[in-house]
């Protein structure tokens, strides 16, 4: 049932405020000042290292979470693609928690990576959507993301629910380790609680993106740029676009631009710049100007202060609500998804069942 939407993907994008709200409620303590893991016993005090492993979009959720675990909780994090991790046979030191992220819970490479860690890691954690999946069953602790069934092959609500649960887990780790001030933690948790209404507001940017997507549909190559927490999101935006519109898209950390990719820039290559007005904004904008100086067409996705300061001369600007930088990846995922969706619709591709792809990759 598409609930009045043209595609399951559109329905699942629209469901995000609701399902994220449910995920936040599930992991929030009653007084709203802490994180609880219902039915699980986990203490991050003695954790030396976190190893996170996944594929595709779930891998990008892990890359995002690395910033959170390192910056909020001070835990060193390693993130790897499951198909690389499993055959590299990396040493797993004592004090390591291994964390596997998977929507389906059945991805063959992720499951094999989990089995490799059995008996080596101190604890095996998973963040899954399908609670009765193999990955959930074989973990010491399985944390559900509560996104509900996701039918569109391109992951949307599962990604933002993974981000939500991983952020809450990072906050729990930060609290366990005394790495975060109580007031700061309560503030972030209350912003998480308020997130559904900000996400609803964000979904209103759809009409702005629809027009832009029609123009993007004519491009042969598209670049995505981001710094810090926006870098993994740039990767996710490019993946989403490739999957359903079949347009070649690549993402780079903005600072890498001048180490090679800048050679690709000309007036035919749209460049999507994800840049809320955060601590790295000035750096992102100076990279963006390097693109514009070479006639690149910039689509800037930012907030009001960002548009005011950096919007001069750009091809298109999408203005989102202002948000605490820590929570920004969850919000900025929405325009990335909508951009891919409307570009695919403009191209007339099979949005929910893109060619050559399966929802669950149970063979390697």
Q: Which residues are designated catalytic? A: 359
Q: Is 110 in the site for ligand M6R (CB under 6 A)?
A: yes
Least Cβ distance, residue 6 to ligand M6R (angstroms)? 18
Kindly determine how many residues on this chain lie close enough to bind ligand M6R according to the rule CB under 6 A. Answer: 16
Least Cβ distance, residue 213 to ligand M6R (angstroms)? 17
Least Cβ distance, residue 162 to ligand M6R (angstroms)? 8
Token pair of 332 as six digits:
């900025």
Q: Is 10 in the site for ligand M6R (CB under 6 A)?
A: no
Candidate list 23, 154, 198, 274; residue touching ligand M6R; CB under 6 A:
154
Candidate list 64, 126, 139, 155; residue touching ligand M6R; CB under 6 A:
155
Q: Is 241 in the site for ligand M6R (CB under 6 A)?
A: no
Least Cβ distance, residue 307 to ligand M6R (angstroms)? 29
Dihedral sign (CA 77, 121, 131, 36): negative
Candidate list 16, 51, 104, 254; residue touching ligand M6R; CB under 6 A:
104
- Judged by beta carbon, residue 239 or residue 326, the one nearer ligand M6R is 239
Specify whether the CB–CB gap between 36 and 50 falls below 8 A: no
149 burial level (CB within 10 Å; 0-12, 13-18, 19+): exposed
Least Cβ distance, residue 142 to ligand M6R (angstroms)? 13
Least Cβ distance, residue 123 to ligand M6R (angstroms)? 20
To the nearest 10°, the Cα dihedral for 98, 332, 128, 11?
-170
Q: Is 107 in the site for ligand M6R (CB under 6 A)?
A: yes
- Judged by beta carbon, residue 57 or residue 317, the one nearer ligand M6R is 57
Specify whether the CB–CB gap between 132 and 26 falls below 8 A: no
Specify whether the CB–CB gap between 143 and 165 falls below 8 A: yes
Q: How far apart are CA 69 and CA 194, in angstroms?
A: 22
Give CA separation, 260 vs 50, 252, 255, 264, in Å: 31, 10, 11, 8
- Judged by beta carbon, residue 164 or residue 317, the one nearer ligand M6R is 164
Residue that the structure tokens 């929910």 belong to = 352
Site string for ligand M6R, 54-73 (x = CB under 6 A): -xxxx---------------
1 burial level (CB within 10 Å; 0-12, 13-18, 19+): exposed
* Touching ligand M6R, residues 325-344 (CB under 6 A): none
Least Cβ distance, residue 116 to ligand M6R (angstroms)? 16
For the beta carbon of residue 2, count every other beta carbon within 10 angstroms: 13
Q: Name the region of 32 (left: φ>0; alpha: ψ -120 to 50; beta: rest).
A: left
Q: How far apart are CA 275 and CA 51, in angstroms?
A: 28
* Touching ligand M6R, residues 243-272 (CB under 6 A): 243
Q: Is 287 in the site for ligand M6R (CB under 6 A)?
A: no
* Touching ligand M6R, residues 194-233 (CB under 6 A): none
Q: How far apart are CA 252 and CA 216, in angstroms?
A: 18
Helix (H, G, I), strand (E, B) or coil at 364: coil
Please choose, out of 103-111, 136-144, 200-208, 263-271, the segment that lies near ligand M6R by the rule CB under 6 A.
Answer: 103-111
Please choose, out of 98-106, 136-144, 175-183, 196-204, the segment that lies near ligand M6R by the rule CB under 6 A.
Answer: 98-106
- Judged by beta carbon, residue 111 or residue 323, the one nearer ligand M6R is 111
The secondary structure element, H or E, covering residue 300 is strand 297-303
- Judged by beta carbon, residue 207 or residue 356, the one nearer ligand M6R is 356
Q: Which residues bind ligand M6R (CB under 6 A)?
A: 55-58, 102-104, 107, 110, 153-155, 243, 357, 360-361
């Amino acid at each position: 049932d598409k609930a009045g939407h043209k595609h399951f993907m559109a329905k699942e994008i629209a469901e995000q405020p609701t399902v994220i709200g449910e995920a936040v409620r599930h992991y929030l303590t009653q007084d709203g000042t802490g994180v609880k893991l219902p039915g699980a016993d986990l203490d991050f005090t003695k954790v030396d290292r976190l190893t996170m492993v996944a594929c595709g979009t779930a891998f990008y959720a892990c890359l995002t979470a690395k910033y959170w675990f390192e910056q909020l909780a001070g835990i060193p994090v390693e993130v790897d693609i499951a198909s690389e991790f499993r055959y590299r046979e990396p040493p797993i030191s004592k004090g390591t928690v291994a964390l596997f992220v998977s929507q389906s819970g059945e991805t063959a490479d992720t499951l094999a990576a989990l089995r490799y860690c059995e008996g080596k890691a101190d604890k095996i954690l998973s963040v899954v959507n399908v609670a009765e999946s193999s990955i959930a069953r074989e973990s010491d602790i399985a944390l559900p993301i509560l996104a509900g069934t996701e039918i569109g092959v391109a992951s949307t609500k599962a990604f933002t629910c993974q981000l939500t649960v991983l952020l809450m887990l990072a906050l729990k780790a930060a609290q366990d380790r005394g790495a975060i001030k109580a007031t700061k933690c309560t503030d972030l948790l209350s912003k998480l609680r308020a997130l559904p209404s900000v996400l609803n507001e964000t979904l209103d940017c759809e009409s702005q993106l629809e027009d832009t997507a029609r123009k993007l549909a004519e491009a042969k190559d598209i670049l995505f740029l981001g710094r810090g927490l926006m870098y993994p999101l740039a990767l996710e935006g490019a993946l989403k676009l490739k999957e359903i519109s079949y347009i070649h898209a690549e993402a780079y950390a903005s600072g890498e631009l001048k180490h090679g990719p800048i050679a690709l820039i000309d007036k035919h290559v749209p460049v999507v710049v994800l840049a809320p007005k955060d601590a790295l904004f000035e750096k992102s904008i100076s990279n963006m100007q390097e693109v514009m100086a070479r006639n690149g067409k910039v689509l800037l996705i930012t907030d009001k202060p960002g548009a005011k300061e950096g919007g001069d001369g750009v091809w298109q600007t999408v203005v989102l609500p202002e948000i605490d930088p820590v929570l920004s990846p969850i919000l900025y995922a929405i325009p990335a998804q909508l951009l891919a969706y409307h570009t695919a619709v403009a191209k007339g591709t099979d949005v929910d069942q893109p060619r050559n792809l399966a929802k669950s990759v149970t063979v390697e």
